[in-house]
């Protein structure tokens, strides 16, 4: 699947001072010189793509975005924080089938059948994934629909806004970079992380359905490979725009995730009225009031 054609080289200016250059053997960051017409990498890419070099181009664009954001240590993982993250995943996946179907229609109207077919398949593949997040929240004892209405993490809203704008512009090619970035980042979640989340859950509770699908042990592995193969066959301009969208999506993802986390106490205040069954302390309090 990942055979390369010897001699391929791809590059894309993902930011004013950042050009990613990729060959089959290596990838590097290049700073273009201004006003130099002989500077190849300062010019628009004009080469054909290959699976190996295209993947290096997109993956490195994501890595550069991560390095551009000052990271801070997230709070200790907790059950309350897991519910908050599930709400965010719900919001990110709920509109995906509709937006990808809209992108497919826009691509088809422009005669771009490869992209139209890819987007239409994405619309089908992502159908029902929002329900996985709802089922996980419900398994933890909360009214899932009420929870996702009450909790809209900033990071999810920022990314959804970018995805929506990408689809609804005259050329929705940016949605390819958005989709690839989100699925590629999901692959960094492995079995060890899933087990760590499961260790937080009450005994007998299954609330990692979403994580099993959107992780390095789920279907995103195959989806990433399929998208790379598709992007490698696009025009140089299209591949450049996909790389830029990867950089922009990753930049939003990493920067918005640093915007602050709610405390467990704040989340408990929101979630307590949304519990499906009285908590032990609630039952104790009600007995005292009789």
Q: CA separation (Å) from 258 to 77, 177, 251, 261?
A: 15, 22, 11, 8
Say if residues 158 and 102 touch (Cβ distance below 8 Å): no
287 pLDDT band, cuts 50/70/90, is: very low
Architecture of domain 79-274: Up-down Bundle (1.20)
Asked whether residue 115 carries a pLDDT value surpassing 70, the answer given is yes
Q: What is the pLDDT of residue 154?
A: 93
Average pLDDT in the 180-191 region? 93
Phi, psi for 189 (deg, rounded to 5): -90, 115
Which letter does DSSP use for residue 33 in this model?
A: P
List Cβ<8 Å contacts ≥24 apart for 24-30: 24/50, 24/52, 24/53, 27/56, 27/57, 27/60, 29/60, 29/64
Least confident of 6-10, 24-28, 154-158: 6-10
Nearest to 1 by CA among 222, 284, 175: 222
Give dist(CA 290, CA 288) in Å, integer.
6
Q: What is the pLDDT of residue 1?
A: 34
Q: Provide the percentage of residues in the chain whose pLDDT is more than 90.
A: 74
CA 201, 203, 207, 211 dihedral sign is: positive
More confident residue, 168 or 31: 168
Could you give the 3-state DSSP secondary structure of residue 3?
Answer: coil
More confident residue, 123 or 74: 123
pTM > 0.75: yes or no: yes
Mean pLDDT (the chain) is 89
Domain ranges across the chain: 79-274
């Amino acid at each position: 699947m990942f055979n390369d054609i010897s001699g391929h080289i791809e590059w894309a200016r993902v930011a004013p001072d950042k050009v990613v250059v990729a060959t089959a053997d290596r990838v590097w960051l290049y700073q273009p010189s201004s006003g130099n017409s002989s500077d190849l990498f300062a010019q628009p890419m004009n080469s054909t793509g290959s699976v190996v070099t295209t993947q290096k181009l997109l993956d490195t664009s994501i890595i550069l975005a991560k390095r551009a954001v000052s990271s801070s240590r997230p709070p200790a993982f907790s059950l309350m924080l897991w519910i908050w993250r599930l709400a965010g995943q719900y919001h990110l996946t709920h509109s995906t089938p509709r937006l990808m179907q809209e992108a497919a229609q826009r691509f088809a109207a422009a005669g771009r059948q490869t992209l139209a077919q890819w987007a239409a398949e994405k619309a089908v593949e992502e159908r029902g994934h929002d329900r996985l997040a709802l089922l996980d929240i419900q398994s933890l004892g909360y009214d899932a629909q009420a929870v996702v209405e009450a909790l809209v993490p900033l990071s999810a809203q920022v990314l959804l806004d970018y995805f929506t704008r990408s689809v609804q512009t005259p050329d929705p090619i940016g949605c390819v970079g958005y989709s690839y970035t989100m699925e590629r980042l999901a692959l960094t979640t492995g079995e060890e992380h899933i087990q760590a989340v499961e260790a937080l859950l009450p005994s007998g509770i299954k609330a990692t359905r979403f994580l099993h699908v959107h992780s390095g042990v789920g279907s995103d592995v195959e989806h990433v490979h399929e998208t790379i193969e598709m992007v490698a066959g696009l025009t140089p301009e299209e591949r450049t725009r996909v790389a830029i969208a990867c950089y922009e999506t990753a930049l939003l993802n990493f920067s918005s995730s640093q915007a602050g986390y709610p405390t467990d106490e704040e989340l408990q205040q929101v979630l307590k009225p949304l519990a499906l069954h009285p908590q032990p302390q609630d039952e104790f309090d009600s007995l005292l009031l009789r």
